[in-house]
Amino acid sequence: MQDISLHLLDIIENSVRAEARTIKVRVVNNISKNRLRIIVEDDGTGMDAHTLERAQDPFYTSKEERVKKVGLGIPLFKQNAELVGGSFKMASEPGFGTVLTVDFTLDHIDRMPLGNLKDTLLGSIIGHPEVDFFIHLIYRDRATEQCFHFDTKAIREELGDIPLTYPDVIEYIDQSLLEGIQNTNMEDV
Amino acid sequence: MKTLADLKKIREKAQEDMKLRGGNVRIKIVVGMGTSGIAMGAREVMKTFLEEIAARNLTDVMVTQTGEKGLSSMEPVVDLIEEGKPKVTYGNMNPDKVKKVVVEHIVNGRVVSDYVVATGN
């Protein structure tokens, strides 16, 4: 993975596979704390303590059809955060869901870039019309705080039976995300 | 700034549209979005499909994302599913190939056999 938003996409796919109906994504660019924080919270099947621990092991996968038992998504994300003085935390409860919190040191020279957050979110939202996404982007500086909220449930209610893949809807979501990313200074992090 | 009022307009336009042609989905596109697919560029493949659908105003196409299905060496992998026809799986996809598949397969109904890695179920 070349950037953080590709890892984010991978984590969102994990939540979808865990049958999440609601996925909350929060990205906090906190200049005063020198920290970039990603939080993904889902209401999927969740994991017990044993599975949660094994999920961080590269030689474990929940995919039973897989011949080679590897699962690199979570271990690589964890490694990329910890290598730059960040942290990786995962909490889960069977039947309730999973929360993942990943911190990166903002000014660390080896930190991977945030990358194309817009395309990650756009693809996930449109590619999983059965899932409600709550997106929350926050930029914090000593003096200012900029926020962006995006809630696909409200959009779906407004659209009725019009699918998210309707051309004008794709453009609407794309533009909204772009504005939100620009307003919270997340284009080039 | 985009508002929900913009969506209302879109909905009215789309409903007119659907009255004219019916609300059927003619082709379903499924982009493999497992870890290896993502690492090989599946996000850009997904994005290009969405761009082409918007640019060409394709209202009878649906795109979804799914996990990987054991074709890791051919990622990014895309399935095209049309009613009454065998499923076509394209492999080693990239944005340029996506554009070609949209024009040839989705618009003109000709399978791009050079990119096909599997057919049927």
The pLDDT score that the predictor gives to residue A64 is: 67
Summarize the confidence of residues A87-106 as an average pLDDT: 95
- Is A16 in the B-facing interface, judged by CB distances under 8 Å? yes
Average pLDDT, chain A: 92
Looking at the structure of chain B, the number of domains it has is 1
Q: Which tokens go with B91?
A: 């492999």
Strand partners, A89: A101
With a cut of 90, say whether residue A71 has pLDDT above it. Answer: no
Strand, coil or helix: B91: coil
pLDDT of B13 higher than 80: yes
Asked if B38 and A77 touch (Cβ cutoff 8 Å), the reply is no
Please report the residues numbered 61 through 120 in chain B whose beta carbons come closer than 8 angstroms to any beta carbon of chain A: 61-65, 67, 70
- Tens digits of per-residue pLDDT, B44-80? 999 999 999 999 999 999 999 998 776 778 999 999 9
Query: B57: domain range?
Result: 24-119
Q: Do A119 and B46 touch (CB under 8 A)?
A: yes
Q: Tell me whether A70 touches chain B (CB under 8 Å).
A: no
Residue bearing tokens 């493999």: B32
Cα A127 off chain centre by: 14
The pLDDT tens digits of the residues spanning A9-40 come to 999 999 999 999 999 999 999 999 999 999 99
The verdict on residue B15 lying in a domain is no
* Residue B4 DSSP label: H
Looking at the domain assignment, is residue A189 inside a domain? Answer: no
Domain with B68 in it: what CATH number?
Answer: 3.40.30.10
Asked if residue A90 belongs to a domain, the reply is: yes
The structural domain count of chain A equals 1
Q: How far apart are the first and last CA of chain A?
A: 16
Query: Is the residue at A188 inside a domain?
Result: no
> Which stretch of A154-168, A171-185, B9-23, B25-39 has the lowest confidence by average pLDDT?
B9-23
Residue A27: predicted pLDDT: 98
Question: What is the model's pTM?
Answer: 0.92
Query: Does residue A69 sit within a domain?
Result: yes
* Structural domain boundaries enclosing A69: 4-183
User: Which domain CATH number covers A48?
Assistant: 3.30.565
pLDDT at position A175 over 60: yes
